[in-house]
């Protein structure tokens, strides 16, 4: 009989408690990992938005230069509009 008492776990309550603790720890670790991943993605999105804003700003500047050249600033200098080659800014 003593051998059978050592074969079974002391109490099913301990098993339930261990499973509950493991579930809570797993939930907390998963939440922390997911929060870290989301924070990294938000940081990346913000940097890409900043890059897009700077690119759009550069495009608007170039379009303004082209518009100014077409509309008359170049006509004041001579008979024909002067076409300037506008280089693109590469990152």
Q: Higher model confidence: residue 10 or residue 42?
A: 42
- Note the pLDDT of residue 14: 83
Q: Higher model confidence: residue 77 or residue 51?
A: 51
Name the least confident of 29-38, 41-50, 78-87.
78-87
8 A C-beta contact, residue 62 and residue 48: no
Residue that is written with structure tokens 């603790």 in the block:
21
8 A C-beta contact, residue 81 and residue 70: yes
72 three-class SS: helix
For the chain, the domains span 9-73
Question: Average pLDDT in the 41-54 region?
Answer: 97
Q: Higher model confidence: residue 2 or residue 15?
A: 15
Q: pLDDT grade, residue 36 (50/70/90)?
A: very high
Q: pLDDT grade, residue 71 (50/70/90)?
A: confident
8 A C-beta contact, residue 75 and residue 81: yes
For the whole model, what pTM was predicted?
Answer: 0.54
């Amino acid at each position: 009989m003593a051998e059978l008492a050592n074969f079974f776990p002391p109490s099913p309550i301990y098993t339930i408690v261990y499973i509950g603790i493991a579930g809570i720890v797993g939930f907390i670790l998963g939440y922390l990992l997911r929060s870290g991943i989301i924070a990294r993605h938000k940081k990346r999105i913000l940097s890409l938005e900043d890059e897009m804003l700077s690119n759009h700003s550069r495009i608007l500047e170039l379009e303004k230069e082209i518009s100014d050249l077409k509309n008359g600033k170049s006509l004041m200098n001579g008979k024909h509009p002067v076409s300037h080659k506008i280089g693109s800014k590469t990152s």
